[in-house]
Amino acid sequence: PEINTRNPSMRGFLERASINAPIQGSAADIIRRAMVRMPGALTAAGLKSAKMLLQVHDELVFEVGEAEIPNALRTVKTVMEGAALPVVKLKVPIHVDAKAADNWEAAH
């Protein structure tokens, strides 16, 4: 109800929050679906060393043996890009950048 306040600062904050909440909530649901599917997808891809370690906002961090990196990158990218399906077919496709590095900072 306060979104109609005469205070422009408060009104602006509430307008941004009302627009952002469904977007952020949907993104959280999509990454959660990817996380639930990931262990099975890694196993199905024959990735014995790959382990999902951490979620950082819209990113997933894995530990993967050197020899399995190319297959792990393909698998992770496929699972994450298709995480919304079949529940929701988005008009704008999800694009995932999957990178390998010795640590999270270096992957950026």
Instruction: Decide: helix, strand or coil at residue 55.
Output: strand
pLDDT tens track for 4-46 = 999 999 999 999 999 999 889 989 999 999 999 999 999 999 9
Structure confidence at residue 108 (pLDDT): 84
Domain count of the fold of the chain: 1
Structure confidence at residue 35 (pLDDT): 96
Note whether residue 39 is domain-resident: yes
Residue 59: CATH number of its domain: 3.30.70.370
Note whether residue 59 is domain-resident: yes
Structure confidence at residue 103 (pLDDT): 87
Note whether residue 88 is domain-resident: no
Note whether residue 91 is domain-resident: no
Note whether residue 64 is domain-resident: yes
Note whether residue 25 is domain-resident: yes
Note whether residue 105 is domain-resident: no
pLDDT tens track for 40-88 = 999 999 999 999 999 988 899 999 999 999 999 999 999 999 999 988 8
